[in-house]
Structure 1
Amino acid sequence: MATTKLSDVKIKSLKPKDKLYRLLDSDRLYIEIRPTGAKVWRFKFVFQGKESSMSLGEYPSISLAEARSLKDQMRAKLAKGIHPVEDRKNIKAQALAETTNTFDTIAAEFKLKRMCSKSETYQGKFDIALEKDISPVIGKKNVNEVTAADVLKILDNTVDRVVKESNGRFTGASAALENRRFVGGVIRYAIATLRAENDPTYAVRDVIKRPRVNHARALTKEERYKARTSLPKYNGTQTVKNAGFILLYTMLRAVEIRKMQWSWVDFESKLITFPIEVMKKARIHVLPISDQAYKVLRQQHEISGDSILVFPAIFSKKSSGMLSPSTLNSMLEYIGLKDVTTHDFRATASTLLYEKDYEEAWIEKQLAHAESNKTKASYDHSKHLKQRRKMMQDWADIVDSWKTEVK
């Protein structure tokens, strides 16, 4: 290696050769001229008796003065017993961690690896929670630096947002609790993968109290009248209107209406048979069809008979696209029943039919409530079918009588 005190003029005049060659500047700093024409600064050093070298960058991006300054910095590290190459690797690793260990990055990984078995609806709620409430506060923050104060801010923001968006109809407590679960899930995943050390959501576990569950209730006489007289005037699609009538006439849960398929409907025997995998209590459920429900389903068949679902999503291009979980409740709010939920119609049917002395076994079977003997329940789906057929016709007639309950 040639020894000379380098200058910018000298370096600029260096030409590549067939083989790599080097020129020493001072204190073991040298420049390496490669056959490609690249000129690379290198520093040779000894650490714990072993000779090594490291690159300090390429000229002219790194000037002569900058190369000498970097060389001095490396010599200072050596004097402190620090290996300059390992130290540089650690600095790069830390910088990389600051960009790859952000909450948003870990959340995306968490969704991919830990939420893949969850429903599209649940994953969608996770995405919305990130977008609206979580990421604006901690999205760009290193996951290991998220604090309880950060989580508290997310909860407060969530409550404020929900209250504002709902014009005070909802407290936001449920959404805040769900957001705390989402944040906790991501951070516990980061802990499991050695990228975080503690879960700050634990410290704020009692800040938001779980809202009292509003159990289903029977509709008042005025609400029954409004339901039966206002639904025919509903200005939405005929599919949603028909789903609303099936809700009134059948005692089905909203999710069962949304999932109902034409292959389960037998117009000839006037029965709908829901398979085990659809029902909340994992049993076959047979629904006798009243004359009113039959008429609604025949009309709906003209609309969606070529689809898989009886009530497909309005704007979905897929035959398997279900109505949104909120569609029927939104319809009820539109017709003036903002304090009524879809489940209230089941409570109404149960209350009124018990008052009229229908057998408990018929009512409970039609509500698809749990049978204590699960083995028996799986084979007993058609029990009391004749009696239930008459009861369902009576119930549909009762629903129609609501039109005259209030004058």
Structure 2
Amino acid sequence: MKILCVLYDDPTTGMPESYALETLPVIEKYPDGMTLPTPEKIDFKPGELLGCVSGELGLRKFLEDAGHTLVVTSDKDGDDSVAAKELVDADIVISQPFWPFYLTRQRIESAPKLKMAITAGIGSDHVDLQAAMDHNVDVVEVTYCNSISVSEHIVMMILSMVRDYHTQHAIAKSGGWNIADAVKRSYDVEGMHIGTVAAGRIGLSALRKMKPFDVHLHYFDRHRLSADIEEELNLTFHDSVESLVAVCDVVTINTPLHPETENLFDEVLISKMKKGAYIINTARGKICNREAVAAALESGQLSGYAGDVWFPQPAPNDHIWRTMPHHGMTPHTSGTTLSAQARYAAGTREILECFFADKPIRDEYLIVHGGDLAGTGAHSYSKGSATSGSEEAQNYKK
């Protein structure tokens, strides 16, 4: 079989010759008891840079020893891209949320042999799920592999935005020392109302991590948590997003992107937020209206916006979020730490091993299977597609 793997570029200085840490902590299970990926074997050392082109997710030896063809590229945008050309006779395509190969309906229909799309990570909205269902293409992802990584990133961004760390660091780095400039937008998190839109694996983990800061915790989710969890965290449940945003000082977005959540945080919803609130978005960029966010930061309706997700990805160089005031944006990095890469590379191999051996893939990994939403997909997504407009990624220039 032919496997097309689309990964982000290598470091500009070349692959590392050594790493900051020699080993990674050993983790056997996720917080809900689910085991980490269990491939029969791996051909990489955990802690290596696996998510870039030269890292190859540690798959080449495994695939070529089994007689398969592996094509790895970072060139993914436009009809003339390497990925688009190689897709037409590919059996399997692997992509990451951090450098997504947008599998639109047109692209899926250009690949008659395509059987499966694997997300090396979590979040498969870069695939037109409806088209995948219509053409019997399975969609799978490595559920939970980097959920804790993302929740740590959320906590980092909440603290850095509320304390205005970015300004203080810039002053120190530039040789300055003006204390008034450094603290004129800096506050304590203690006592604030923190809310998550969706309380799945990432959202719930973020709430748990914020509880020791003595904050008031809120959540909205279409699947209400158990009474035990609500009592444990002293959680306030909201039956609408509007109810949650009206009372929260910080709103963190942790819902999957699908047609129901696309453009959810538009001018209208942001106007209903508590004045001066902060938004942290590590879910998907397209959940927030880019112009509405920038305008709210200009007017003071929002005090800050931070996240690592954009639409499209990579973001065009002139994307308004690059230059809007009071932002803490990063490239899409929250879920691709070296720790997370070891898990999602192993999970990708586990999925491939099962597929080649005609064994069932874990139900938790399934998004689309047998022409319908399945597993995690049935719980988290709705039918349809949110890939439209992805061709704008061509406007990013290195």
Radius of gyration: which is bigger?
1
Q: Which has the higher contact order (CA 8 A, sep 6+)?
A: 2
What TM-score, normalized by structure 1, do the two folds share? 0.21
Which of the two has greater helix per residue? 1
